[in-house]
Structure formats: structure tokens, C-alpha cells
Structure 1
């Protein structure tokens, strides 16, 4: 993490020189081991005669030295910055030399000597420049001095005086004693000691602070990542809890009255667990946020000292800064071990059958702490690793524990009678297959059709073609969205002309749906009698006449957001790899997170039977997933001809159509994601297709880049696959569906 060096002007104008106890400018600042500075008097009042005090900002306890607060280390770095701050609310500066030579007092100062630190009137400034002793002094205009123009130069001219030898500047650093010396001190008790100049000493100690600073910056990054992971885990727990709650309620509505008591028990158990884990996550997240703030403030102070401090200040603060950075570098925490509930629901129960719900907490891979590249986490084992010092080692903090997310399993078949114990073996018939085996066998049966089962192959029949340009258009149309509208119409989103246009399936212009001024619609969908569309990072809902019902700001993360309607009262919009579902009132109902959503970017989206189909531009694939986010199938980049997938849609039979703009094709896939073949190509006058949709009775619409829309009718041919050969059975009328 490369932080930008702070500037001197920003340090003078910000709250860096303000005491957080009295909220006034620091007076006689004292620095604590945690690198926080306060006024000496404020610390004396805070200590109240005790032998220790607690830092008001980081709450770290500090033992006071023998002399009390006055014996604490003085912050010479802040003292040097305070010398540059001009007092506010006072009278204009007057000449400080006139009273010394018997002139009248109160004459306004127009200049200042940076070497003598004297304010002078015009006559004294002229004489100051002509004197043999001061003619080389740097005299500047008072206006420039007060404006801060010469702060950097003044900062370089500042010199720290020796307390034991007034008038002598501190110039040396005694290596064995680790103290700064003036010339007289150097010739005294430290004459035989090896000494360095302040510049050499500061240069030698700067890399130590820089190395420790880099380690603490990595610690801050790890803390921030851990806190973000905890927040994601808490959100995931909320989503899973909501889904399990819905499943329990739906199952209970179909069950007999005697099972309602068990329903309440399971829901109460789930709610109590969710509240407990949420509370624990929030508490740990709050602690991590606080530690992040403490570490960040320490890093900021160390950076200011390294960037703005003089050599003597760096040397004087090096020990306390290094101690603090080492303390923060060793920070670690133990993340929560969250066991998430899993539920099994039996749909049919007779007599005194088994329990309807089976709630369990399944262990999954640990979350919350980033792992090193060569670390392996053993299930159930607790590990705790400190931040490694080497730059090549992974920065892993805290303990790694197995995390369990709530899972819901619904059983469709339940045997009668009393459930058997875990150690008993059934004597009725053969042993049953596990649910996982049944699920895998069912998927294999679906993916591998039985010989002789017909698969539909879509074929296009051209009907008409028309251009979406209308007389009021000022620019060439750019169709970015297309969807069915009412009965026998299409709604076209023209981003270039900022319009929503209505056309019949025969190409007749029916009018426009007004959109807010200056808004260019991208993706569009109908929701009942209303119209939803996205533009930029906003989601809009219009009524039938084009009046704005509401608009929502969407999260950043992708340039455009696809929207689809869900029935007549909901809509789903793509936001950063997941779907957000809203109702007609603009309320966020749920978030659908497809598997692997952290590595996905869904640019195009469409409804597909009981789920969705989307174009993933990160993985260059097309994915099919359910309403709960479970991945059904994925069409890889190889199946798409090594091309970036474009717009997608699906017909009533579940066949998926994908635009491959680079190849001037629209290809078809089966409902299980198997490639069927090209549906449209250049032979069908397809040139740079953009968006597609299915409307009316098997009407397929494709919009091209030049603003033309082609309408085709979908004909289905049965592809009968036998063990020995494959042949086509064609309908003579071309309409076999």
C-alpha cells in the first residue's frame, strides 16, 4: 500500500496541530508511546495525580515516568510546526526594532527577517539590509510571510537549541547514548564516544522506520480485508436465513396441523442462532474497524514525521515510533467460527412418521481471513499466524476456522413409520440411495437423453424487416434494449436518441414512451403495465403513460446494468455479479447471488423457465442459474467460438439464443446448455447483431447495429437420436412445435 506523502501546508491547516482533549491548538505538546500528542496541561488534568493514564483516542494505558506528565517526551516535531502558525484574531504586527533605537512604537511592520525572526517597518528593513552584520540576512515582505509563502524556507532554517548550552544548536548524535548533542556537549562527556552528524544519523535510521511502516501498512490491509469478509459473511447469513425461512413456511403450509409446533421450534432456533451470530459478527467487525483506525492514524503520523520532520525530530522520535509500529505489526485476531443451518424438509408424512425438518450446520471452507499461498487449513483445527516480516511472505492474520453457512434441504419423499436411529439398518427392501446420488443420477439422465427422445432444433423463417429511425431522431439509432410490449408489440431502447420506441411486429411505429429529460435508456423490460429501464447506474420505473414512478441508484462495478421483468410485480437487475430484485414500490426484496459471483460480470440477462440466463463478460461464458443462484449449466468460451457473448434470450421451450457479434451469428443452446447450432448467420442478412428477444407467438426479433430490426418466426424440428443413427423428422408445414 503506497501512501502519498503529506504536505506541509496540509499539516498546518488540518487538525493535526489541534489537541483532541481541549480542541485548541497544542500548547507544550507531549507525545505518548502510542504516538498521540496532547497539551501538557490537558494530560496533567487527565492523569489526576495517578501514576498512569489512558490515551483518549486508542485507550492504551501509559505508565507515567518519575517526574509525572512533565517528564514525558516533548514532541519537537509538532513544536517546529507550531512555530510556523501565525496567530489569528490579533492586531497587525508592529516593528520590533523601533523601540530598541528610541523610535516611536506601534509602527506597522512591512517586512520580516527570516534569520533574526524580527518584524520591521520600512526604515528599519532598509537599514537592516545595509548593515555589515545583517546585509546577507533573508528579508521578505510581511504579506508574503503571513500568507505562508515562505513556510518551507522557514522550516529549513529552524534550529533546535541545546538546553544545557544556550545559543548552541544541536548538531550531533551520540550512537552509544542515543542522544542529540551540541558542539559543547560533543567536546565534553561524549568526547570519546562515536558520534554522527544529525543528517547521517537520520539517514541511517530512516530505513528502519520505513521497513516497519510497510509492515503495518500490510497489517491495515489485512484488517480491512478481514472486516470486509466478515460483513460479506453476515450478509450471506441474512440471505440464507431468509431463504430457509421461506422454505420452512412453504413446507409448513402443506403439512398437517400437528407439525406446526415443530415449525415454530425450528424457526425460533434459526432466528436465535442468526441473531447471535449477527451480534457476534457486528462486535468483531466493530473491533476490527477500531483497530484499523488506530493503525491508520499511526501510519499517518509516521509518514508525516518521515516526510516533514527534520533530522533531529526523526532521531528523537525514532525509538517511540518503532516501538509503536512493532506493537501494531503484531496485531492479530481470531475470526468467528460460524456454523450455518442446513434444513431438510419432508413433503409427505403419514401416521407418526419422521420429523418434517432436519436442521443442521454444515462446515465449509473458512472465510474472513486471507490465506497465504502455501498454507493449508485443516478442518476443525485452529491456527493463529502472526504477520511475517519478509516482503515475500503472505500476510495472514488471525486464526483460521471452519465456517458453516446455512443450507436448506427439502425432501420430496418421506417414508411412513417412525424414523430409524443412526446406528440401525433398515430391513424393509433394499437400501436407499443417498439424496446426493439421486440428484447426480437425475442430472445425468437429463444431460444424456434416452435413445429415441426428440430434441427440438429451432429454424428461422423470415417475416419482415424495418428500421427504428423516426422523423424526430437527430442521430442514427443505437438499439441497446429490446423487449415485448403488450400484445404484438416491441419496445425498443434507443440510447443515441434517448427514446423508448414502440413498434408492432410488422414494423409499424406506434409511438414512444416518454423518459426523463437527458436520460439515455440502455436495458428495458416490461413489468405488468409498467416499464423498467436502466441508464448509467440508475434503475427507473415508468407507468403506462411514461410518468416516472421512482428511480433507484445502483451500485458501481459495471458500465451497464441489464434488467428483466419477473411476472407482473417484480424486476431483477444485474449489479456487480449478482441480481437485485425490486417490487413495484421500489423495495429491495432479495439479492440472488449466482455461484462464483465474485468472479462474474453479467452484462446481458434474460428469463429462462424457472431461472435466468446471462452473459458473463469476465469468464466469457453464458451461465444458466436458478432463482436461488444455483448454477445449472455454463456454456464455455470454446462453445461460443472463442468470442465474447452478447445479448441472450430464451423461448417458451427453454432454448437459449446467444448473440456472437464478432461472428455475425446467433447460436442456439438446449435448456441444459448443450450446443444446438447456429440459428442466424450472415446468410440471414445478419450484420453486427446487438440485442435479441422472443415476442408473441414464436416471433424472434434481432436488432442490428445500423438500427434495423429483423423479425423471424421460430420453427422447430425434432432431432431424434437413436443408438445407431440420428435423423430429422420434418413437419411438412414447417411448424412442428
Structure 2
């Protein structure tokens, strides 16, 4: 940055020589440590308890002696002298003018500092004493053509010796002195000429001034960075506003469409049912009229008719009455509708936040070691995917001991503790999901482990197939999924039967992909997570119903698990341990629930009392330990959820873990959203 140098003429201006407090020319200008100058009489009222605060930059200065103790700005004083002389337009000759006779000056002697009239100018130039003085025209002087020469001839007089100029500098006292001062008070001190002192100090002052260029550049860059941050904040804020508005508009449109659809369905249903009811009612009224008419006629014949008339009509009356009595009314097959609302949970509308702000930088600071390389938030359903370039670098967590809170009586496992040093995970192998025979980029949403080290099954949602790999990661075969037009998202192995969830249906297949059964699931979820308990049943997590249904491999519902007094959540991923305890992740409440088969809730792991932030995929090992994918890390909990530790965590934030499983050998199988599979052993 180039240094801007002002000319002397630019400095001798009224705006530069005006006090910023009184807006008048300086009177006894005092300079503050911040280099701002003000009139002494302007500063005196703002001195508070010996402290003076600069009106411009707010720098505080201690002034025990008041404003008068501050240094006088002689630089401003000397410029003021020039300014005032040049702006006095009624200048008289200072040599011959007196009270009786005033002659207008026409020239100025720079050496004598006298204004001269025409006669005095001629005499001044002819006198032997002033022959060599520089006399200039008054017009040139007032125009500023000789300001530089005037500045050179200006001298500051000593305050102690008014007639002596300050021409020396005392190094001992660091102060300018005059000739008399040098011979008296400063006789024993180290004294140099003023010119030599200035010549000595000028390089260091120039160096300091030059160093300000770097400071100014740094501040300018920081200012630019702040402006860029402001622009980013503004852009991000507008984008978030736009997204929220669009989301709410879409939700309103969706709700209105749902309203119109259900009202239309209700109207059609009521019309059909009403028509059936009216037909049955009309028939019953007709039959009643027939019975009333028969009774009235028969009574008249019986009480009024003659004997032979009664006997003559008795057979007909008997037949008619028997016919009426044997009438079987048409069965009314009517259904009384009831309304089921998927979001009919007060907690969802009153407590659960629909929108939230996330701060990736804060999230980055919260993780301690390298493992995953995700790049986006965990999805709300098992089937959501994110596309990024594969680049994985996974390691295990060794020294991690997160803060734990104190437990309370209402939550038995309120304080999951952490181990001082977690058990080290060793990376066994990594492989990429095969794409050679796929139509699209694989999107893995489900995982199952084959028994007896038989390998791994991965559900590829994008290509509607199941890919089988060996325990070492070698591709073995692809198992086709039924062509039902749905979106498959969950997979589980129940004995020798393969269960897959697609939309609101549960399919049972052989390990070769042969279709066995198809069941309609409860609720109205777009996807269902499933797991299996040995070869007994498949457990289906039922979303906002907050329940679990159990289905046998033969395709029959064999039970239902409904947690006691649990509402307002959304069950997502599910696992079951050897004790038939179900572990589910609640997407809305952001917690993990451990439930007995009877429906009794054994423990709830919340974000406020555990290591959790946003739990996602879940599995259990042979020792019933619980493994949870939580945003950018994997947490291992004890079977009861009381203790927990982070066994894998992230630092690079490039790829996010998606689903996981533990095989019979205790190896952890982890699938990232970019299609890479990592296998770890303890």
C-alpha cells in the first residue's frame, strides 16, 4: 500500500487546523497518546477522576494534572501561525505604521518576519544590515508560494528563555533546549544539535511508519474476511429461509391434498353405505306394512266373519302369516369409519422441533480421532442416499472419555459411564461394493450376516438386488429381488429364510431369491427397518406407531410389542439381543429405547444423559453389546445401556457411516454411504 504524503499547502487548511470538539481553530492544541489533538479548554470538561477518554477512538489516558498536563502540539501551533498570517487580509507595514499613520503592506521579509510597505521594502533592500534578506511580494506570500521557506525559518522559543530558540537536544533528558539551557541546567548533560538529533532518529521513525503498511494490509484482509462472512451469512440465511418456506408450502400443499383425498374417500364411502342402508330400510318398511296389513285383515275376519268365512280363509291366513314370519331380513353390511391420523401425537406438534440449525465447524471440533469420512447429516429413513467420491481412511478410537452426567431416579441408566481407555479396533479389510453388473451406482440400505462365516449380504436399493460377499470381502453372487415396483430398504436373515421390506410390505425369500410370502405391514410408513431373532421371527419397526410386530418365516403375525405409555416418536432401526430385548433408535426423539418383549421399557438413552446426538443404525453382538451409528461415530454400549464408549469416531468428515452389523466372530462390518465396506476386529 502506497504511503500518502500531504503537501504543506494541504496541511495549512482550516479543516486540518480545526478542533473536532468545538469546530473552531485550535486554541492551545493538546495531543493525546493516540495522536488526536483537541483544544485544551475542550478537553478539560471531559476529564473524569484523572482519566481522559479520546472522543474519537475511546482510548483512555491518565491525566492526574488535568488537560493542561498533556503535551502541546507544536506542529499544529506552527501551522496555525502560518494559517493566521496568510488569512489576515488587512496587513499593515509593521515598520513605519503607527496609530496616526497606517500604510498597507506590499511585501514580506521572510528573515525579519516583517510586513513592509512600498517605501520600507526599498529601504530594506538597500540597507547594509538587511541587504541579503529575502523579501517577497505579499501576493506570492499569501498564495502559499513561500510556505516551505517560512516553515524552515520558523523557530520554537524556549518556555524558560523566551528570546532563545530551541536549537539543541539533550539526550540525557530527552528534551529540546535552547542555548541558555545548555549553558545552565544542562551543562553536564549529553547535548547534540537539533538537526543531528532529527537525522539520527528519522530512520527509525520512518521504519516504524513503513511497518504500519503490513498492519494495515492485515487489518484490510481481516476486514475483507469479515465482509465475506457477512455475505455468506446473508446468503445462507436467505437459502435457509427459502428452504423453510418451500418446505412449509410443500407440507401445506401435501396436507391440503391429503385433506381433499380423504374427504373424497369419506364422501364416496358414506354415499355407498347410505345407499345400502336406504335399500335395507325400504325393504324392512315394505315388510312391516305387509305384516300390519295381514294382522288387521286377519283380526277383522276372526272377530266379524261368520264361521264358514273364517274356516274358508283360515288356510290362506295361516300361509300368509307363516310366510311373513319366515322372512329373513337382508343383512346390513355397513362399516362405521373411524379416523386414524399418522401425526396424531401432541408431543410431535408441541415438543419436537421440525427445523434445527447445524454448525459443521462445531461438529468437527467435537470429534477426537479419525475414522469415518462422511459429508452430510444422517438420513431420516434407511433408504436415503448421498453421492460422494470414495476416499476412506478409517482408524479406531483409543483414548476417549466423554463427560457423563448424574443419574436421576426416573431413568435407571441416566449416567452411561465411559471406560478410561476403549478397547482398540483393528482394521481388517476394506472393499467397494461391486458395480460391474449393476445398472446404477450401488446404494446400500440393508445388511445381514450369513452364519458360520458364510459372508455378508448387502441390499442394493438402487439395483433391486442383494449382493453376497465372503468374510474377506470377495464378491460371490447377486440375488435378485421381486419385481414389485416398490423400493426395498431393509434386509434380515431368519434361519434359512431371507426377509426384505419394501414400502409397506414384507417379503420372504429363499437364499436363492425364490419368492415365498408377501405380507402387508401395519401403519403407513414409506420404509420399515427389520431384524430377526434366531430362526423364530422377523421383528418389524413400525415408525410413528412406536411399536414392533413379529412375523414367523411362514408369514404369520406371532406377536406385537407395544411399549407402555410411549408416544410421539418414530421407531427407525431395530436390533434384538439373545434375551429377546428389542433395541430401537427413535428418529424424532433422538434416543435409543431398550424394550422387553412384554412392552416394558428397560432403559432410554437420551442425548442429555449419554454419548448420543442423533442415533441411526443399530446392531448387537454375541455378548449382547449394542453398537450404534451416531452421525459421525460408532458407539458401543453395554447390554443394559448403562456404560458406553466411542469405538470409532471421525475427523475428516468426508463419508458418513450408514449401516453396520457384527458377525459370529465378533467382527464389526461397517458400510459407508459411498459404497465402501470396512471390517474391524477387536
Report the TM-score when normalising by structure 1: 0.37
Higher strand fraction (1 or 2): 1
Q: Which has the higher Rg, Structure 1 or Structure 2?
A: 2
